[in-house]
Amino acid sequence: MPGAYVILDRLRQLAARDNRPVVPLSERRGGSSSLFTFVTHERERIAGASFSLLSIVAIVEGAKELVTMGRHLRFQAGTVLVLPAGWCGDVVNDPDPSSGAYRAIFIDFPDVLVRRASATFPPTRAAARLDIGLDATLAAAIHHAGEGIASGDLPAAVLNHRLMEVLMVLGMRGALPARPETTAEAVRALVRWRPDRAWTADIIAAELVTSNATLRRRLSAEGASLRDLVASERAVLANAMLTDDGLSLREAALATGYRSPRRFAERMRAAGPDREKRSD
């Protein structure tokens, strides 16, 4: 796709210098969108990265590694990562061996715009994949929005229109992640990003800014069990590790929070019907 590579060169101009956020991205709550650029000439690791808003990362040069959902994933230049609100994981930015540079463009999106785009292209479920290819249409939309944010002088209505361009392209490609609409979905989302964490009712309640009693009451009203939610979400991820990543039973067990392969195998069998349903 020659057009995409031309735009990739233009995106490289937006990422000419490192312009990282001062405030952690996990604390972003504003109603406006931000543009950040990450440039490094040395391999770097960022532990415990998390995003409070739906965000995209366009990898312009080099490669990015993510340790998330219990998996180690690597993405090359020309890839756009679509990270849902609440995503967390470890990040490694790896410079291109030829140029010696890693460059990426980060844009986050206010919830109000995400809801508007989702109304036009309703997500059917939380996106299983985080990455999509950078084609000419998506690259042009990112460049248009990035230039608008960087200028700092566009009227809000015009800038929002440019941001909506990006979201609508994502929606057309089925890459808009679904936001949790129920307490059960919110619990699943927490477990999905950190399946190896020792999740307890108290920890989950704290993450969802509620009490243990309220958490259990809401789940009961939805006909859901906290224990079953954690186990079934871990089983979904473990199944991907076993079938797609080629991990051993022991490796998949450890990556999803189990210390006993036997106990893990029992949980996998117990969650079998739900796993098949979630994989549809």
User: What letter represents residue 258's amino acid?
Assistant: Y
Task: Tell me which range, 9-13, 118-122, 240-244, 260-264, is most confidently predicted by mean pLDDT.
Answer: 118-122
Would you state the CATH architecture of domain 183-279? Answer: Orthogonal Bundle (1.10)
Q: SS3 of 150, please?
A: helix
pLDDT of 105 over the 60 cut:
yes
Q: SS3 of 129, please?
A: coil
Confidence of residue 30 (pLDDT cuts 50, 70, 90): low
Q: Residue 187 and residue 229: Cα distance in Å, rounded?
A: 7
pLDDT of 275 over the 50 cut:
no
* Residue predicted with more confidence, 117 or 26: 117
pLDDT of 253 over the 70 cut:
yes
* Residue predicted with more confidence, 195 or 81: 81
Confidence of residue 85 (pLDDT cuts 50, 70, 90): confident
pLDDT reported for residue 88: 87
Token reading at 70: 């219990």
* Residue predicted with more confidence, 266 or 147: 147
Q: Residue 187 and residue 236: Cα distance in Å, rounded?
A: 14
| Helices 226-243 + 212-221 axis angle, to 10 | 80
Average pLDDT of the chain, as a whole number? 86
pLDDT of 93 over the 70 cut:
yes
Task: Tell me which range, 48-52, 215-219, 230-234, 276-280, is most confidently predicted by mean pLDDT.
Answer: 215-219
Q: Residue 135 and residue 154: Cα distance in Å, rounded?
A: 26
Domain regions of the chain by residue span = 2-172, 183-279
pTM of the model: 0.81
For the domain covering 2-172, report its CATH number: 2.60.120.280
The vertex-242 CA angle with 73 and 79, nearest 5°, equals 20
